[in-house]
Structure 1
Amino acid sequence: MEIRQLKYFVGVVEAGSFTKASALLHIAQSALSLHVRQLEERFGTQLLVRDRTGISVTASGAKLLERARRILKEIQLTEAELTNTVTSPSGEVTIGIPSGAARVLSGPLLESIRNELPRVSLKMIEGMTGPLEEWMAAGRFNLAVLYRTEDSVGRMTVLAREELSLVAPTDEPPFEDSVCLADLHAFPLAVPMRNNNVRRSVADVVAQHGCMLDVRFEVDSLSTIINMVIEGKAHSILAPSAVQKEAAQGLVRTVKIVDPVITRSVVLAVNPKDERSPAVSAVRKLIPKVARTLIENRHWSATAPDAG
């Protein structure tokens, strides 16, 4: 039994007729009929019923169809694995990315993957940092963009460093360009849940300096938090990149937090079991390049890892 015979058989069944299958598979209808007949002779049973409306499968044909699809799928996967080389990586790569970083990084990254790694299929899952951390730890991603404090980066690749800001409604205080950490207590806040890395980073710095925050709302949705600020219902503490679009449109203002500045690192983590995958390695090398280009072109309000 030849692989192409299985391919032709499945093609005929899925097309619904020999005529349509002939056009889709680019093979003469007579040749298709011959291959199916050879299969029927080999198995000693009828596989297809032909009538005026097209074809239908017999009970034996249904069994072969199920097995043939599995076999062809395994062959496809095997070919992908064997041709997935360092020089021409291919396959699916899954990456988790926080909502804030996704607003500046996802579009350019997808464009770069399409142009530079055309055989790689990128599956991107966006979410808040708490769930992303848990899913990465559970091995659900090949790669993940995460947030870390300076002392907890470890072996992960630093993509950028961001300074957190107070995000304020346009017509409410503070109206200065900066606000001291000790003065943040004056502003009602809408912030992510406690398992969020940004929330933890702020809480750690606040606790170290004996300050207080007026947390009115805990919301695990970046878009909801931003809308609450726009509507004047609360302030928030976010990275400027998370609200670049709204700030540029004059919908919100970003006020730099000082004394001290709250800095976080945007890092790239890789699942240890995927480190040797050519496709994962290729995407892993491309992401820092995309991030640096965004920073240099001022499309990402952050600093490069080796800048000052």
Structure 2
Amino acid sequence: MDIRQLRYFVGVVEAGSFTKAASLLKVAQSALSLHVRQLEEGFGTQLLVRERNGVRTTDAGQKLLIRARNILNEILLTEAELTSKKASPAGELTIGIPSGAARVMSGLLLEAVRNDLPRVSLKMTEGMTGPLEEWMSAGRFSLAILYRTEESIGQMKALASEEFCLVAPPSGPPFEASIRLSDLRSFPLAVPMRANNARRSVADVVAHHGCMLDVRFEVDSLSTIINMVMEGKAHSILTPAAIHKEVSQGLVRTIQIVDPVITRSVVLAVNPRDDHKAAIVALRKLIADVASMLIERGIWLPVR
């Protein structure tokens, strides 16, 4: 097994056939077949099933595909870190980003891409987390910023942590610095729809502790929820990043939720088909840098 064999194997799987892979990789089809056959002989197991319309991986082939992509990505990262040459990745990349994260991250990220990756065209889609997760699963994005509990991060890169807080109108009775989870039932809430990660994160903790919430409005729009709180029509449960601007302007107030604290992780998901591309490697580093900047500013919390 050598690096070239791994590149050819990944290329064949991603192209879906030896014919398409030969054209994309500019390698003779017979050479590709030979290298894949040598891999199969070396491992002593079948990796690909040749069918009339192309190829599909066996269980062993799927395991190798995951490993090979990781290996090739590590090679690119190593080359980027050790080479003295200035790489200039190019191409069009797509990223999905939740509305809350976008409010503090999108401007910094777009500026970093403009300055450090001038040949990369970044297409950014902002939305609620439910649709973004579905589109990422369908392969619509090259990367996506997503939210996860600590137990469900898997192989995705954790960028930061967030704590949920009660968001209250600027007028009204004073609050203590914190509020117990069990006391949230006293406040009429405007919250995202049930498919939204923020809603699920809060609901899971509330259900686990046998508490109740007074959900009056379910709205799949962050800006509408924030406006309702500002106008005194409801309270909400959000993360500080989502209402950072309004808090700094005195338009809403935040109260820490305790007993227990409700947390989630901000993670970076990458489409496996794009993970080995130089532009993706460079963009992943910029995203990590932006996350570190937000942690330094106190908007996000360090990874737990």
Matches within 5 A, 1:46-195: 87-173=87-173, 175-195=175-195
Which structure would you say has the larger Rg? 1
* Rounded Cα–Cα distance in structure 2 between residues aligned with 1:303 and 1:235: 23
Q: Where does residue 257 of structure 2 map in the other structure?
A: 257
Residue ranges of structure 2 left out of the alignment (5+ in a row):
1-78, 81-86
- CA change 1:193–1:173 in 2 (3 A) is farther
Deviation at 1:280, TM superposition (A): 1.5
Deviation at 1:174, TM superposition (A): 5.8
Secondary structure at the aligned position of 2:290 is classed as helix
Q: Where does residue 303 of structure 1 map in the other structure?
A: 301
Secondary structure at the aligned position of 1:176 is classed as coil
Cα offsets for 1:168-215 (capped at 9, x unmatched): 011234611111000000000000000001100000000000000000
* Rounded Cα–Cα distance in structure 2 between residues aligned with 1:174 and 1:146: 34
Question: Could you tell me the TM-score, scaled by structure 1's length?
Answer: 0.70
Contact 1:168–1:174 (Cα < 8 Å) also in 2: no
Cα offsets for 1:82-122 (capped at 9, x unmatched): xxx96221001100000000000000000111111111111
Q: Which amino acid aligns with 2:100?
A: G
Q: Where does residue 217 of structure 2 map in the other structure?
A: 217
Deviating beyond 4 angstroms after TM superposition, the runs of 4 or more aligned structure 1 residues are none
* Rounded Cα–Cα distance in structure 2 between residues aligned with 1:127 and 1:163: 20
Identity level (%): 71
Q: Where does residue 43 of structure 2 map in the other structure?
A: none
Secondary structure at the aligned position of 2:273 is classed as helix
Matches within 5 A, 1:229-240: 229-240=229-240
Q: Where does residue 274 of structure 1 map in the other structure?
A: 274
Deviation at 1:229, TM superposition (A): 0.1
Q: Where does residue 288 of structure 2 map in the other structure?
A: 288
* Rounded Cα–Cα distance in structure 2 between residues aligned with 1:192 and 1:294: 24
Q: Where does residue 28 of structure 2 map in the other structure?
A: none
Cα offsets for 1:67-91 (capped at 9, x unmatched): xxxxxxxxxxxxxxxxxx9622100
- CA change 1:271–1:172 in 2 (3 A) is same
Contact 2:142–2:271 (Cα < 8 Å) also in 1: yes
Secondary structure at the aligned position of 2:302 is classed as coil
* Rounded Cα–Cα distance in structure 2 between residues aligned with 1:122 and 1:129: 20
Deviation at 1:295, TM superposition (A): 1.6
* Rounded Cα–Cα distance in structure 2 between residues aligned with 1:172 and 1:283: 44
Residue ranges of structure 1 left out of the alignment (5+ in a row):
1-84
* Rounded Cα–Cα distance in structure 2 between residues aligned with 1:180 and 1:111: 40
Contact 1:144–1:269 (Cα < 8 Å) also in 2: yes
Contact 1:94–1:142 (Cα < 8 Å) also in 2: yes
Secondary structure at the aligned position of 1:223 is classed as helix
Q: Which amino acid aligns with 2:162?
A: E
Q: Which amino acid aligns with 1:265?
A: S
Contact 1:97–1:126 (Cα < 8 Å) also in 2: yes
Cα-Cα RMSD: 1.3
Secondary structure at the aligned position of 1:144 is classed as strand
* Rounded Cα–Cα distance in structure 1 between residues aligned with 2:293 and 2:91: 25
* Rounded Cα–Cα distance in structure 1 between residues aligned with 2:153 and 2:109: 22
Q: Which amino acid aligns with 2:238?
A: L
* Rounded Cα–Cα distance in structure 2 between residues aligned with 1:182 and 1:99: 28
Contact 1:147–1:267 (Cα < 8 Å) also in 2: yes
- CA change 1:174–1:135 in 2 (3 A) is farther
- CA change 1:161–1:227 in 2 (3 A) is same
Question: Could you tell me the TM-score, scaled by structure 2's length?
Answer: 0.71
Which one is further off, 254-263 or 85-94? 85-94
Q: Which amino acid aligns with 1:302?
A: W
Number of positions where the alignment pairs a residue of Structure 1 with one of Structure 2: 220
